[in-house]
Structure 1
């Protein structure tokens, strides 16, 4: 039986990462190395988590997160804690068919010797009574960030990761996490695999969970490789059309997607009517601060295809590459824009 969280109307949240303090890691950069070491790093990560929570609360965010303050990368930090992956043995692969990267190698059966993020989640839970969301990498995006010389089957490796993610998710739920989100940008690329086994892997990852579950599918951080790719997609981005029909019939509760300043036709949301939808109303690929009215307009358009009680205003993607000031201003705009729509709905 699913646990039903009582949310306010149009509860706001961030899709994922938020900028780290400059004393912890190099600002405005992805995969930035830590500036602290040993116990100082452990303590610094905890302090950064508390600061990130405070900044979300100051911005009026309703569903808060850790801002991914304790991890360098949304995928690799989880994989670092697993056995069967050799980080010294590196190969160059093409990530999401877009850009090349040096990645670790799967050399034997993968497993999870111990919990990865559970202590961090307990710390976050102890700081607030608000609903909290925790992001994990999805199975398909995990396999796309590795070189596999052991399983030699994308499906087989993804299935093993799904079982590991399920172990972690159950412990996060027990720690008090209200929404567990799986980040699957790979769902916007490998459509045949998504429909043949990707969604099934995702359902294995959420098996037995009573908390709410979400899948986040976006067009990526605002880095050059992603923005260059977007320029090749034409005037309409219809990638969601390939996976939404099967996602609608899946056991996932919430679908998180990119809307603002994208070329996604919002009528595609009709393909998942009935699902809860985290509507990306904040562009993370530039430093321009949205006005509350711009946010509200994106939400108004989405409400043509999503029932108000199922619409969760959100950012398009994580905001780690932005400055803290810009990210904070964007979160304030998100909250203010959502309030405009709440007021409009209340007056009907």
Structure 2
């Protein structure tokens, strides 16, 4: 057996990658210095994997922003609005595609399969692809030249690239395969000429629900590559789920197949046992979880490897993670503040690679007592399982005894809306924001002083109150109709709540990439989740005391907390979601008792939790929607429940979105506005809805006219009486001047639109 990795975290143990990018964007770092700093980070990652004893090390898994964007740039798939004239894509154009510019809107961003990583969606319309530069070849040469590493280049597979892109009709899929296939062949031929033996071709699209036409295209791609580049060994790598069409996939003309044996629900192993595996192919056995952060039960994992070795010769087995380690932090060694019983149960990227190397040694007979060695490496996992934090009888009983009645509002939305309209007296096309306002350097510095005990609780609270007071005043000046307190006390929309609930823990350096340079530090749900004290009441009530306009209470929903955390793996995700929902239900009750009339419970991660296989969607959505309703359905009829979702394909889950039974929903749509509006042409939505009218991830300030056009497009389909006007998402990452300018234009656009649509309603 050999040990292999599929991809290493890009950001660095102290987020060095993020800091370099942001300095460059701010004009504080020259391009040459950025290139040099990123090279040092990249080589450091390769060196670390070598030190850990990994035998097969991936190259070209590093990126300047996003690996899908890299692939699009490599093939010249740059939308016309970016003034690109061919050849290698310059950094400013590359970053404009990702972040937008004053001249051009950014490309759409959406979730990478069912993870919390976001990729930049390639646009095919109006562009003839060309090979601009061979990035995998450059990465291979660098690793060999600088470190003597014979790396395995990683390439995003052709069919995954096509299926994740936009700008072409459904019946044009095959023609785009034809356009791109010669370019892929050219990349591979150049790699072969360089002496590369193995290529990792990532095709996670094979783990989704595919149809016969898809399989025909995949077969055509790999047969053509085999004909044009004979002798080059392709490792066709799949991950995140099982392969439905196992028998067809394993007989593709490739030298190896990588399968996920962690997130496959046992299906890959079952298929392999039933149908066998080709004698001459290599199997990449993804037996260590590439997405979770828990130590594996290595004896159990070793048993799986033994099963595989009964079917496949050991020399044709690679021991590897189930996916790239992009989705986990770098190392748990730095987490000195965690309780030992928790820390010893954690395995981040480096620890996972150690597990892979240890399993490989066991499989090769290099351990004197493999059972003892593997059990010792898993001891932390067993100790946590026995701890009191995972055995809270009261919490477990409450979640087990939930009833359907607890998930139902007392009146239907049509009747509630009449009561709420009378209570709030809002104008037509009411304006609001999603929740957060800019987190300035001053705010971050104040939080650090408080965390370091340099400021008392009273000092910090007084500072936060001043920020709330400032921004309540600014919102009133802008003319917004429904206000927010700004969330200045919150670092992250999940972390904030996890810090106040039982069953959560937090790392010091457990950062992972969400999109671009945006890194998050997911909470760890390690035990039973329980309400402790009110979490949001003080700031919301203070904000409401400063204005006669309604101020929304702001919470993060149970499914987003679940999907944006590292979740314990000893109980079902549904069980954890229900525990979180019960804790939030109590917080909602506290807000309502304090006089807060609008409560927003955000669920931006609802769709990303969808299983990759469509046949499993219904079961997930059923319990996910029910968990949201457990959290929100206990309020009175006059209390208005809002929710927010962002950056995903909503058209697939419109019925479930409606099933949340929120009184008002706001949805990201500025990067894909027309497409989302088309969804409402097919689905009648009977609740309040706001479609985001400007992109908060871009520094670009939209004009009044542009926002007005967005409003008009939506109101061709939606009833003006149900429509709200808001940005795409929270404004935490934007500068104050950008925020105020954009919101000013938004409120002016709303004021201009109201008379027109008021007259329409009167007719």
Same fold, TM-score > 0.5, yes or no: yes
After superposition, the Cα gap between the structure-2 partners of 1:321 and 1:300, relative to the gap in structure 1 and judged at 3 Å, is same
User: How big is the shift at 1:35?
Assistant: 4.9
User: How big is the shift at 1:113?
Assistant: 1.2
177-186 or 55-64, which deviates more: 177-186
Is 2:699 the partner of 1:278? no
User: How big is the shift at 1:322?
Assistant: 0.6
Aligned to 1:246: 656
Is 2:640 the partner of 1:212? yes
Preserved contact between residue 431 and residue 750 of structure 2 (Cα < 8 Å): yes
Partner residue of 1:310 out of 718, 722, 742: 722
Question: Which one has more relative contact order, counting CA pairs under 8 Å at least 6 apart?
Answer: 1
User: How big is the shift at 1:340?
Assistant: 1.1
After superposition, the Cα gap between the structure-2 partners of 1:120 and 1:262, relative to the gap in structure 1 and judged at 3 Å, is same
- For 2:698 and 2:513, the matched residues in 1 are separated by 25
**SS where residue 523 of structure 2 aligns?**
strand
User: How big is the shift at 1:92?
Assistant: 7.2
Aligned to 1:260: 670
Preserved contact between residue 56 and residue 64 of structure 1 (Cα < 8 Å): yes
Matches within 5 A, 1:165-244: 165-191=584-610, 192=617, 195-210=621-636, 211-219=639-647, 239-244=649-654
The size of the alignment, in residue pairs, is 324
Aligned to 2:583: 164
- For 1:89 and 1:286, the matched residues in 2 are separated by 29
Matches within 5 A, 1:27-66: 34-35=448-449, 37-38=455-456, 39-66=458-485
- For 2:591 and 2:580, the matched residues in 1 are separated by 16
Preserved contact between residue 95 and residue 145 of structure 1 (Cα < 8 Å): no
Which blocks of at least 5 consecutive residues in structure 2 are unaligned?
1-410, 611-616
Q: Which has the higher strand share?
A: 1
- For 1:33 and 1:168, the matched residues in 2 are separated by 23
Matches within 5 A, 1:95-106: 102-106=521-525
User: How big is the shift at 1:72?
Assistant: 1.4
Aligned to 1:121: 540
172-181 or 189-198, which deviates more: 189-198
- For 2:585 and 2:514, the matched residues in 1 are separated by 24
Preserved contact between residue 45 and residue 70 of structure 1 (Cα < 8 Å): yes
Partner residue of 2:558 out of 139, 161, 164: 139
**CA deviations over 1:223-277 (Å, ceiling 9, x no partner):** xxxxxxxxxxxxxx7x101221122244221121012233533121242421110
**CA deviations over 1:200-225 (Å, ceiling 9, x no partner):** 11111112212111221102xxxxxx
Preserved contact between residue 585 and residue 631 of structure 2 (Cα < 8 Å): yes
After superposition, the Cα gap between the structure-2 partners of 1:182 and 1:114, relative to the gap in structure 1 and judged at 3 Å, is same
**SS where residue 443 of structure 2 aligns?**
coil
Preserved contact between residue 16 and residue 68 of structure 1 (Cα < 8 Å): yes
Aligned to 1:76: 495
- For 1:127 and 1:241, the matched residues in 2 are separated by 39
Larger radius of gyration between Structure 1 and Structure 2: 2
**CA deviations over 1:30-52 (Å, ceiling 9, x no partner):** xx954553232111111111111
Is 2:707 the partner of 1:295? yes
- For 2:758 and 2:568, the matched residues in 1 are separated by 57
Q: Which has the higher helix share?
A: 2
TM-score (norm 1): 0.85
- For 1:205 and 1:24, the matched residues in 2 are separated by 30
After superposition, the Cα gap between the structure-2 partners of 1:247 and 1:69, relative to the gap in structure 1 and judged at 3 Å, is same
TM-score (norm 2): 0.40
Preserved contact between residue 699 and residue 734 of structure 2 (Cα < 8 Å): yes
Aligned to 1:228: none
**CA deviations over 1:169-207 (Å, ceiling 9, x no partner):** 111122222221121121232232652311111111112
Aligned to 1:227: none
After superposition, the Cα gap between the structure-2 partners of 1:157 and 1:90, relative to the gap in structure 1 and judged at 3 Å, is farther
- For 2:509 and 2:564, the matched residues in 1 are separated by 11
80-89 or 272-281, which deviates more: 80-89
- For 1:334 and 1:283, the matched residues in 2 are separated by 12
- For 1:58 and 1:324, the matched residues in 2 are separated by 14
**SS where residue 25 of structure 1 aligns?**
helix
**SS where residue 559 of structure 2 aligns?**
helix
After superposition, the Cα gap between the structure-2 partners of 1:194 and 1:343, relative to the gap in structure 1 and judged at 3 Å, is farther
- For 1:90 and 1:204, the matched residues in 2 are separated by 33
After superposition, the Cα gap between the structure-2 partners of 1:95 and 1:24, relative to the gap in structure 1 and judged at 3 Å, is closer
